[in-house]
Structure 1
Amino acid sequence: MTKMITLRVDQSFLADLKRGYPLILKEAVVNTDMLREEGELIRLVDRANRYLATGYYGNQNKGIGWVLTTKEHEEIDGAFFKTKLKTALDHRADFFEDSQTTAFRVFNGEGDGIGGLTIDYFDGYYMVSWYSDGIYSFKQYIYDALAELVEFKAIYEKKRFDTKGQYIEQDDFVMGEPGDFPIIIKENGMNFAVNLNDGAMTGIFLDQRDVRRTIRDYYAEDTNMLNTFSYTGAFSVAAALGGAKETTSVDLAKRSLAKTIEQFSVNGIDYEAQNIKVMDVFDYFKYAVRHNMKYDLVVLDPPSFARSKKMTFSTAKDYPKLLMDAISITEKNGIIVASTNNASFGMKKFKTFIDKAFKDSNTRYKIVEQSSLPKDFRANRDFPEFNYLKVVFIKKLNK
């Protein structure tokens, strides 16, 4: 049986915990010195030693673990994990029936009751991502449950946690028949090439599925589109399939060129008719201004934090400047799709960034629609920081 440690919760954190806040914050616990080894079960009590919840010890961002249950006598065993996985799979039943979308999230961490764990489905292949050594210690329970509940071609895993002072992102084959990658998955009828054994990224961010469809169906037609921080060019593919006259994809990573060509090609799009630039996005903005280039549709989906030889970028402090650069090269009545996955601020704060950028640019604007995580990325609505994705479609108005 896994060792159980009793930890006392500071009085000021009781209300959130009782409301269902799933992350065990370090500052919420009085006696963290009791913790020894990640994977230990944690019995949370108040100062009168009354039971609050059971969780596990696993360092992840601001937390030292996650709550698993508020039922005092519930066993954290194979049956517990199987029940959580089965419930999550049942919630995605409609996705498994959709022949036009063959990649989606089947388990979304704390949104499905087990923080630190995500599972994605890619046309018969499953990718399990582990975010702490603590949750990884339960891997056999979870793999046994997954193997019993689903049919699969293969299961892969990605470990995304700090071990002995070194952050690792590695992927490994777990079971089944190894895939011949890339495989081609469908997303709302679009094709995307995916690798499950090629480092931290797969080639597609599944949480942006609804945004890509919206761009294709409602905003792309007859536009000149710019896709910044373009990764493998998925937004550009959506725009091209939606009737964009031309797309430009810009990313600093050298591998983005080949990956973007690949994504265009698997959709039957002539990549030579599109523009693919391997360069710093901020340098591209300056280049576009110098050449009086304008775009009808601009996508901004930067990483939360990035560092180049010239500068560092953080969405928490630099997004207004990024938006101002985009405003300067957006046509009047053009659309800017502003997106961030930074969980440290919410939609309300994000909209203050948007307002500041347009005011500082002396430009009027209108928010035409907004979105957050798609429904397969289940999140606790009471705690919006776990619904991390914020996407706003902004129309640049005439002055």
Structure 2
Amino acid sequence: MKNRKDIIINHQFENKYKSGYPLLHKEAINNLGDLKQEGTILRLTNEKGEFLGIGFYGLQNKGYGWVLTRKESEEINKEFFQRKISKAIENRASFYQSTDTTAFRVFNGEGDGIGGLTIDYYDGFYVISWYSQGIYTFKEDIIAALKEVVSYKGIYQKKRFSTDGKYIEEDDFVTGDRGEFPIIVKENGVNFAVYLNEGAMVGFFLDQRDVRKTIRDKYAKGRKVLNTFSYTGAFSVFAALGGATKTTSVDLANRSLGKTIEQFSVNELDYEAHDIKVMDVFKYFKYAEKKGLSFDMMILDPPSFARSKKMTFSVAKDYKNLLKEAIGITSKSGIIVASTNYSGMNMNKFKGFIDAAFKESGEKYELLEEYTLPDDFRTTNTFREGDYLKVVFVKKM
């Protein structure tokens, strides 16, 4: 039986939660000291004792837990999770029917009604990601609910939370058949090698699907492409398949070399016709400038925060300077794909960074098109922060 606790919402935040806001913030809870054990079921009331919602206590970088329902009589049990997952599956029916795309998001946290939980699909395999100890305490009910709703080859899990400052490492396999890795999945007809048993990252990010397709179908042909913070080279593969004359992939992680070679190879592309650099992106910019290199397409999709031995990078502080460096080696009429998954800014602020970078560089530009999350990454209007992805295609004039 789950622990239960009444929490009192400060009157300043009462209307916010009445309107459907799902994330529990520290400053919104009057009796924060009563919260002891993650996974505790929370009954939210206002300062007059009037019911506001039912949620759970779960610490993550975003807040202190999530509201799950505004029905006072609704129990948080296997049947509750089964209803939520069933609805999410129903909303992705078109994805399941596709033969060109066999990897997508099935359940997207608060967008599907359960904050701190995501479920992804990889050609018959499911991967559950837990973002707090709190949501993880519902593990048995959620896995049982998923097993009743879908047929599957196998189910894996990823713990995306830490205990005592350290991530918990354990076998990611849950049930079914263990995959023979890599599993080859498709995205808009392009092959990707994914590994569900190698920690938090599987090999590529599902949320950039529409952007990669646009690069391939509209912008890559005949261009020299620089893909920075390239991870396993997914953008580079799409650019090459779209007719780019050459791609250069740059990432500081040693693993990026072998992983990028693999992604080129599973698409029968000659990786030796392209450049793959294991080095700091800012150092590469200096190298390119010194060598007089320029590119017709620049892809900038850095992590929100990164640290190397000599420097730290954060989107909030450093994206403008990153753009300025990129502008300097982008050819006239070249395309810059500016992207961030940092939830702490909206699209207008992000466009402000782009505008400032071009103005400070003494260059003019044209905004071509923009993207946010694809349809399988469902969001809710009551939680704007959940629509975290911002991508803008910019032409240097």
- TM-score strictly above 0.5: yes
> 2:307 matched to which residue of 1?
307
Does residue 278 of the first structure (1) align with residue 242 of the second (2)? no
> 1:348 matched to which residue of 2?
348
> 2:132 matched to which residue of 1?
132
Letter in 1 for 2:103: A
Q: Equivalents in 2 of 1:62, 1:241: separation in Å?
A: 38
Report matched runs for 1:65-214 at 5 Å: 65-168=65-168, 172-214=172-214
Per-residue CA deviations over 1:354-393 (Å, capped at 9, x if unaligned) read: 1110010010111100000000000113432110000000
Q: Equivalents in 2 of 1:355, 1:75: separation in Å?
A: 49
Per-residue CA deviations over 1:236-288 (Å, capped at 9, x if unaligned) read: 00000000000000000011000000000000100000100000000000000
Report matched runs for 1:263-274 at 5 Å: 263-274=263-274
Contact 1:162 1:168 in 2 (8 A): yes
Q: Equivalents in 2 of 1:307, 1:315: separation in Å?
A: 12
Per-residue CA deviations over 1:209-257 (Å, capped at 9, x if unaligned) read: 1100000000000000000000000000000000000000000001100
Deviation at 1:36, TM superposition (A): 1.5
Question: How much is the aligned-residue C-alpha RMSD, in angstroms?
Answer: 0.9
Letter in 2 for 1:55: G
Q: Equivalents in 2 of 1:335, 1:272: separation in Å?
A: 24
Q: Equivalents in 1 of 2:329, 2:319: separation in Å?
A: 16
Letter in 1 for 2:254: K
Contact 1:335 1:394 in 2 (8 A): yes
SS of match in other structure, 2:57: strand
Deviation at 1:12, TM superposition (A): 1.0
Letter in 1 for 2:363: T
Contact 2:209 2:374 in 1 (8 A): yes
Q: Equivalents in 2 of 1:274, 1:280: separation in Å?
A: 18
Contact 1:85 1:145 in 2 (8 A): yes
SS of match in other structure, 1:99: coil
Deviation at 1:170, TM superposition (A): 5.4
> 2:28 matched to which residue of 1?
28
Letter in 2 for 1:312: T
Deviation at 1:129, TM superposition (A): 0.2
| Structure 2 residues without counterparts, runs of 5 or longer | none
Q: Equivalents in 2 of 1:304, 1:386: separation in Å?
A: 15
TM (norm. structure 1) is: 0.98
Per-residue CA deviations over 1:62-101 (Å, capped at 9, x if unaligned) read: 3110000001111111110000000000000000000000
Contact 1:169 1:200 in 2 (8 A): no
Letter in 2 for 1:198: E
Q: Equivalents in 2 of 1:6, 1:69: separation in Å?
A: 15
Deviation at 1:171, TM superposition (A): 5.3
Q: Equivalents in 2 of 1:229, 1:278: separation in Å?
A: 10
> 2:216 matched to which residue of 1?
216
Q: Percent identity?
A: 62
Q: Equivalents in 2 of 1:372, 1:309: separation in Å?
A: 32
TM (norm. structure 2) is: 0.99
> 1:16 matched to which residue of 2?
16
Deviation at 1:320, TM superposition (A): 0.3
Deviation at 1:169, TM superposition (A): 6.2
Letter in 1 for 2:324: M
Contact 2:240 2:246 in 1 (8 A): yes
Contact 1:341 1:390 in 2 (8 A): yes
> 1:335 matched to which residue of 2?
335
> 2:38 matched to which residue of 1?
38
Q: Equivalents in 1 of 2:252, 2:170: separation in Å?
A: 22
> 2:258 matched to which residue of 1?
258
Between 16-25 and 321-330, the greater mean CA deviation after superposition:
16-25
Between 138-147 and 229-238, the greater mean CA deviation after superposition:
138-147
SS of match in other structure, 2:269: coil
Letter in 1 for 2:76: I
Q: Equivalents in 1 of 2:169, 2:31: separation in Å?
A: 31
Contact 2:22 2:382 in 1 (8 A): no
Contact 1:24 1:64 in 2 (8 A): yes
Distance 1:171 1:19, change over 3 A: farther
Letter in 2 for 1:78: K
How many residues matched?
397
Q: Equivalents in 2 of 1:171, 1:21: separation in Å?
A: 35
Contact 2:299 2:338 in 1 (8 A): yes
Q: Equivalents in 1 of 2:75, 2:46: separation in Å?
A: 21
Q: Equivalents in 2 of 1:261, 1:100: separation in Å?
A: 22
Distance 1:220 1:169, change over 3 A: farther
Per-residue CA deviations over 1:287-330 (Å, capped at 9, x if unaligned) read: 00011111000000000011112211000110000000000000
SS of match in other structure, 1:107: strand
SS of match in other structure, 2:213: helix
Letter in 2 for 1:30: N
> 2:243 matched to which residue of 1?
243
Contact 2:212 2:238 in 1 (8 A): yes
Q: Equivalents in 2 of 1:360, 1:171: separation in Å?
A: 49
Distance 1:247 1:169, change over 3 A: farther
> 1:290 matched to which residue of 2?
290
Letter in 1 for 2:296: D
Contact 1:171 1:199 in 2 (8 A): no
Contact 1:193 1:266 in 2 (8 A): yes
Contact 1:160 1:170 in 2 (8 A): no
Q: Equivalents in 2 of 1:121, 1:78: separation in Å?
A: 21
